[in-house]
Amino acid sequence: RIFDRFAQVDTSSTRRHDGTGIGLALVRELVELHGGRVWAESEGTGRGTQMHVVLPEGEADSEAEEEVIQTSSGESVALGNSLAAMVSEMAIDEPDPIAMRNVELERSVRHSEPLDEVLGGLPEGPNVDAAAAEVLIVEDNPDMRKLLTFLIGKEFRVRVARNGREGLELVRESLPDLVLTDVMMPEMSGAELCRILKADSATRQVPVVLVTSKAEREMKIEGLELGADDYVTKPFHPRELMARVRSLVKLQQASKELDRKNVALESANAELRAALEELHEAGVQLVKSERLAAVGEIAAGVAHEINNPMNFAINALRTMGDYVGDVSTVTKALADIDWTRPATVKERMQEVDKLRETCDFDEATAALGELLEIVTAGLDRTQRLVGDLRGFAGPGDSVVADVDIARGLRTTVQLIGHAARDANVEVRVDIAEPLPAVAGDARALNQVFLNLFKNATAALEGQGGRLDVTAAVRGDRILVEFRDDGPGIAEGDLARVFEPFFTTKEAGRGTGLGLSISRRIVDEHGGDLELVSEEGVGSTFRVTLPYEGDSVAA
């Protein structure tokens, strides 16, 4: 049986000695192709072995008869140039031809010598980016381990292990983006390594690719049942291996990005809840100044403004899930191809190409990046809104500091602008920035702007109209105006609008404290709040605030 393909003394997946079981089978096929024969003789265990090879004399083949390799461009390459063809196919730096030629023959003669001494060392790959994905290679055969490291190291960071037990330790030490493992290894097989990784919640998301010389369907099914993400049989084409590794790494990175976005989304929601809690506390403390009534307005504004970006993010994440499913379908179809049967490979690859068109594979991979940008934009918008909300709510106690009037106005319009839209009011904001900073309590001044905005909107409710919000420097003061083209205020009511509890609204729609408290806040900041109104023309609330020096709010 020693010349049978895959025949080995120890056939277990954890055998102590390496090898594929195809060496002597290859010898027999090569000898027979040369018209010769090969056989072995031995008197038994411990008595040695004689290997006999008989070859007939003959003449060298012509160069045309030596054409054994066809490149992707259709060019036929002779045996002597096959290494150069592989290098060209892989688009890699060409190794030293003297060091690489007849490597297997030299190793057979000097089997006990280290691989590096025989090969003279494979050429070093380029220095990959430190941020590149990491692949863990688990392989007991030094030659195969060095080859895989050379190929994978062209694009990815690489760590290596000599068996499944070492590989498991390295995975637990630091999660790689992909595990590329041989199946038959000493101490712990690749199948056992795959089973342990997929059974552990901390490691089950790491893609696992099994590499083995056993191509039987039962072995493939067993590996996939253990949770393996792909299966590659030896011998494999380097480009095929790289394509499989590259696809799985991209999927893994997309999955990580989704997880990161989900965490960011949860964090944004947590910040929003915290900000709303702070806002609620501020409302409780300022019941006397009608802050509680403003909480409902602001909360409604926040819910309105946050709804769209949240919906965008959620829909994008769902679509990404569909695209990932399409990409996985194409990858699985590739994994099911039996590459040891060349006669069927072309037909199966055509089926895969049709599947790629059906699933819009190229569109799916391109769309993943665009969808991630949509999710990021939605989260950024939510984060900015949370920041505005926290700035509006402010701390529980009054804090005197430099106040950015322009930011306060814009934040107020953003937070409760929905009320104006619902009332069919066109809001125009004209701020002559940069404005000097005002020393005061930002929370209290924002309350003034909120009250004035609400009053102007309420005046236009039911008929629509226009509201102009302006701010500019006038001498040593900042002038802020809220000007509407509503029905105006009756002359008899003008003198009372700033009195506590006075209101022209219907019962239950206001306490009559808003304008009174707003004037008191402006007075405490050394400014003035006045109203100019004419029935049938509209009303204008003017706020003037002093500033010191020529400092400008950041």
Residue 500 has pLDDT above 80, yes or no: no
- The winner for highest mean pLDDT among 58-67, 96-105, 125-134, 249-258 is 249-258
What Å distances lie between residue 500 and 314, 515, 521, CA to CA? 47, 8, 14
In single-letter form, the type of residue at position 153 comes to G
pLDDT band at 293 (very low <50, low <70, confident <90, very high): very low
Residue 204 has pLDDT above 80, yes or no: yes
Residues 26-37 have pLDDT tens digits of: 999 999 999 999
pLDDT over 90, % of the chain: 24
CB atoms within 10 A of CB 524: 12
Residue 219 has pLDDT above 80, yes or no: no
* pLDDT of res. 104: 47
* pLDDT of res. 138: 94
Does residue 89 or residue 408 have the better pLDDT? 408
In single-letter form, the type of residue at position 180 comes to L
* pLDDT of res. 295: 47
Residues 110-136 have pLDDT tens digits of: 443 444 443 344 444 556 778 889 999
Q: Is the peptide bond before 235 cis (omega within 30 degrees of 0)?
A: yes
Residue 498 has pLDDT above 80, yes or no: yes
CB–CB of 157/135 below 8 Å? yes
Residues 346 and 336: their CA atoms lie apart, in Å, by 13
The token pair at 361 is 């594979």
Task: Tell me the average pLDDT across 229-242.
Answer: 85
pLDDT band at 433 (very low <50, low <70, confident <90, very high): confident
Q: Which residues contact 502 (CB under 8 A, 6 or more apart)?
A: 493, 496, 512, 516
Residues 435-452 have pLDDT tens digits of: 999 998 888 888 889 889
Lowest mean pLDDT among 47-56, 112-121, 366-375, 406-415: 112-121
Residues 507-517 have pLDDT tens digits of: 445 556 678 88
CB–CB of 154/111 below 8 Å? no
* pLDDT of res. 35: 92
* pLDDT of res. 429: 93
Task: Tell me the average pLDDT across 48-69.
Answer: 77
Residue 272 has pLDDT above 80, yes or no: no
Residue 143 has pLDDT above 90, yes or no: no
Residues 388 and 399: their CA atoms lie apart, in Å, by 17
Residue 468 has pLDDT above 90, yes or no: yes
pLDDT band at 455 (very low <50, low <70, confident <90, very high): confident
List, in sequence order, every residue forming a beta bridge with 328; answer none if it has no partner: none
470 burial via Cβ count (<10 Å: 0-12, 13-18, 19+): middle
Residue 478 has pLDDT above 90, yes or no: yes
- The winner for highest mean pLDDT among 14-23, 86-95, 299-308, 496-505 is 496-505
* 8-state DSSP, 482: E
* pLDDT of res. 39: 95
Q: What are phi and psi of 20, to 5 degrees?
A: -110, -15
* pLDDT of res. 553: 43
Residue 527 has pLDDT above 90, yes or no: yes
CB–CB of 168/189 below 8 Å? no
Residues 337-352 have pLDDT tens digits of: 777 777 777 777 877 7
Task: Tell me the average pLDDT across 316-334.
Answer: 73
Q: Which residues contact 402 (CB under 8 A, 6 or more apart)?
A: 437, 438, 439, 551, 553
* pLDDT of res. 431: 92
